[in-house]
């Protein structure tokens, strides 16, 4: 479901999971596979915002994707204050834009020193994907404050990967664990 920014007020109950990352990283695909276990061949580019609600193990989660194209990135900070977790999706083969992803991520994090961070190294099904060690380094995750919980998971948001180690279903489990902690 796509909608405009002004319609968002109604969704702010339960746990807020904010899903950000550059355009094309795989945010919509990940939301799709987190929320429904059906195949999807093509993902239309998100025009603005995309949201999904999940109820698992008694937790109500609102997952909100804000588009990652340059004109939409200025909206990112607006949703940060309400978020309980930030999921930041990176395209593991998009080496040329990794520096941009790193900068955008660190700029965001500077305003929310305690917000838990889940970085997803997506498109791990591709043969030239960067490893988690490389992404940790390239995204300068080692420079983040020790006050912050930081996770880096390999993902592949494809139908074929749903039952593999890079399954985005691990992301779902991690979110449940994070949001269930006291």
Ligand X SMILES: Nc1nc2c(ncn2[C@@H]2O[C@H](COP(=O)(O)OP(=O)(O)O)[C@@H](O)[C@H]2O)c(=O)[nH]1
Name the minimum Å distance from CB 25 to Mg ion.
8
Nearest residue to 76 via CA among 43, 122, 111: 111
Q: Give the containing element (helix H, strand E) for 152.
A: strand 150-154
Alpha carbon separation from 69 to 25, 39, 46, 74, 87 (Å, rounded): 11, 25, 9, 10, 17
Query: Considering Cα of 135, then 179, then 16, then 143, what sign does the dihedral take?
Result: negative
Can residue 28 be called a binding residue for ligand X (CB under 6 A)?
A: yes
Among the listed residues 99, 122, 93, the one whose alpha carbon sits nearest the alpha carbon of residue 28: 122
Binding ligand X (rule: CB under 6 A), the pick from 64, 86, 109, 158 is: 158
Tell me, by CB under 6 A, how many residues bind ligand X. 20
Q: Which of 57, 73, 60, 81 is nearest to 23 (CA)?
A: 73
The reply on whether position 43 binds ligand X by CB under 6 A is: yes
CB of 114 to ligand X, least distance (A): 25
Binds ligand X (CB under 6 A): choice among 157, 171, 175, 179: 157
- Does residue 21 touch ligand X according to CB under 6 A? yes
Count Cβ atoms below 10 Å from residue 1 Cβ, excluding itself: 7
Residue of 17, 27, 61, 135 that binds ligand X (CB under 6 A): 27
- Site map (CB under 6 A) of ligand X, residues 96-135, x = contact: --------------------------xx-xx---------
Q: Which one of ligand X, Mg ion, none is in contact with 51 (Cβ closer than 5 to 8 A by kind)?
A: none
The residue whose Cβ lies closest to ligand X is: 26
Residues in contact with Mg ion by the rule CB under 5 A = 27-28, 46
Q: Is residue 51 a contact residue for ligand X (CB under 6 A)?
A: no
Does 171 participate in binding ligand X (rule CB under 6 A)?
no
- Distances in whole angstroms, Cα of residue 83 to Cα of each of 15, 79, 80: 8, 7, 5
- Nearest alpha-carbon partner for 123 in 155, 88, 89, 168: 155
**What residues line the site for ligand X (CB under 6 A)?**
21, 23-29, 43, 45-46, 68, 89, 122-123, 125-126, 156-158
């Amino acid at each position: 479901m796509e909608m405009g920014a002004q319609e968002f007020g109604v969704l702010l109950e339960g746990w807020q999971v904010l899903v950000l990352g550059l355009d094309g990283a795989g945010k919509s695909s990940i939301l799709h596979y987190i929320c429904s276990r059906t195949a999807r061949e093509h993902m239309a580019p998100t025009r603005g915002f995309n949201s999904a609600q999940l109820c698992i193990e008694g937790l109500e989660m609102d997952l909100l994707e804000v588009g990652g194209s340059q004109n939409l990135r200025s909206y990112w900070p607006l949703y940060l204050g309400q978020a309980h977790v930030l999921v930041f999706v990176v395209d593991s083969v998009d080496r040329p834009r990794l520096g941009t992803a790193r900068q955008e991520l660190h700029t965001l994090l500077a305003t929310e020193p305690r917000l838990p961070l889940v970085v997803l190294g997506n498109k791990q099904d591709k043969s030239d994907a960067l490893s988690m060690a490389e992404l940790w380094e390239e995204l300068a995750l080692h420079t983040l404050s020790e006050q912050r919980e930081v996770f880096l998971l390999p993902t592949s948001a494809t139908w074929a990967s749903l039952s593999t180690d890079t399954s985005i279903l691990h992301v779902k489990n991690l979110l449940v664990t994070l949001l269930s902690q006291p």
